[in-house]
Structure 1
């Protein structure tokens, strides 16, 4: 298995008080943990890359724990998402390796989540940005929690790097009023409703 080489760990926190409407009594907080690592598959095609997911698991757990601590504990988390941005010497399939370790890390650290963790991935140059989709942790159809957080870093990913992202939130969009399934209506049976 290739060695995981971590260059940088970055945390971004937003406290959203309003989006032009009334000021929220409690701001919605969203946070992203970004890891910049060496891409062990850069500049070459490797057929069997799945074992690298095992190497990414401890990093996923570290990042998820960091976010849960920042947001005040697992009972405060209502939304999540993940994403990966691959440098130009890699391929989008390398980003797919983050699905399992990133998603399961958040589910394990938060505990009891039912909804699939949404994801985005792409190849980009240094300074590229990635929109990480966010949904409710227990029901993907909760419209108030459909959101995204733009992430990136000014010096990453280098051509031979990966930028891996986890995002968590403490609530719905601050001025959600688009209808649909509400968080308090979740039945929790299938991860969708």
Structure 2
């Protein structure tokens, strides 16, 4: 398969001080990195797509490293993650599914406490389409305080023959998390769930 052809990248960083409640001592940070690539399968049906996942792995690793750097460079500060893709109109949903392995495993390779599955979303959309990327705790999917999402998109993307790839990370729980359940301090780290 061909090496991914990158048209543009973007990094979005949010600092959340409060959501109507008391101001947090340390603002919560939530960030996304987006890459817009040419879709080599646009406009045609291809039976075997899996080889392109290997071609996307270096991009996934670079995006992961750049996103950690954007959050301050400390891999141990990252507590939540998610991934997603928007496929342009000449592609199909399965082309976005190609991001599961290279996007998810890249984050799990770089982040030390990342036993939890990386949640994801994908869709087909036109220029300016946006997508909500689901977020869970990196080490235990059942930690309710880290259930979240970040809406991402780029105004001129994806073009019909492109795919927008996204990774999202957070530095903690929702700023006013108080829904009970398993706490981050109670994680056993055995199975990615608890």
The answer to whether TM tops 0.5 is: yes
Q: Deviations along 1:42-62, whole A, 9 cap, x unmatched?
A: 000000110000110010011
Task: Give the equivalent residue in structure 2 for 1:175.
Answer: 176
Alignment of 1:142-157 (within 5 A): 142-157=143-158
Determine the C-alpha separation between the residues in 2 that align with 1:54 and 1:155: 27
Task: Give the equivalent residue in structure 1 for 2:53.
Answer: 53
Aligned partners of 2:143 and 2:182 also within 8 Å: yes
Determine the C-alpha separation between the residues in 2 that align with 1:112 and 1:173: 19
Higher mean Cα deviation, 84-93 or 65-74?
65-74
Task: Give the equivalent residue in structure 2 for 1:7.
Answer: 7
Shift of 1:4: 1.1
Determine the C-alpha separation between the residues in 2 that align with 1:133 and 1:102: 14
Determine the C-alpha separation between the residues in 2 that align with 1:189 and 1:4: 35
Determine the C-alpha separation between the residues in 1 that align with 2:30 and 2:45: 36
Q: Structure 2: any 5+ residue segments left out of the alignment?
A: none
Shift of 1:112: 3.6
Aligned partners of 1:3 and 1:40 also within 8 Å: no
Determine the C-alpha separation between the residues in 2 that align with 1:111 and 1:87: 34
Aligned partners of 2:8 and 2:37 also within 8 Å: yes
Q: Structure 1: any 5+ residue segments left out of the alignment?
A: none
Determine the C-alpha separation between the residues in 2 that align with 1:160 and 1:19: 38
Please give the root-mean-square deviation of Cα atoms over the aligned residues, in Å. Answer: 0.7
Shift of 1:108: 1.0
Helix, strand or coil for the counterpart of 2:56?
helix
Alignment of 1:75-154 (within 5 A): 75-154=76-155
Q: Deviations along 1:150-187, whole A, 9 cap, x unmatched?
A: 00010000000000000000000000011111100111
Shift of 1:71: 1.2
Helix, strand or coil for the counterpart of 1:65?
helix
Aligned partners of 2:4 and 2:37 also within 8 Å: yes
Determine the C-alpha separation between the residues in 2 that align with 1:3 and 1:117: 24
Higher mean Cα deviation, 107-116 or 48-57?
107-116
Helix, strand or coil for the counterpart of 1:177?
coil
When the two structures are aligned, how many residues end up with a matched partner? 193
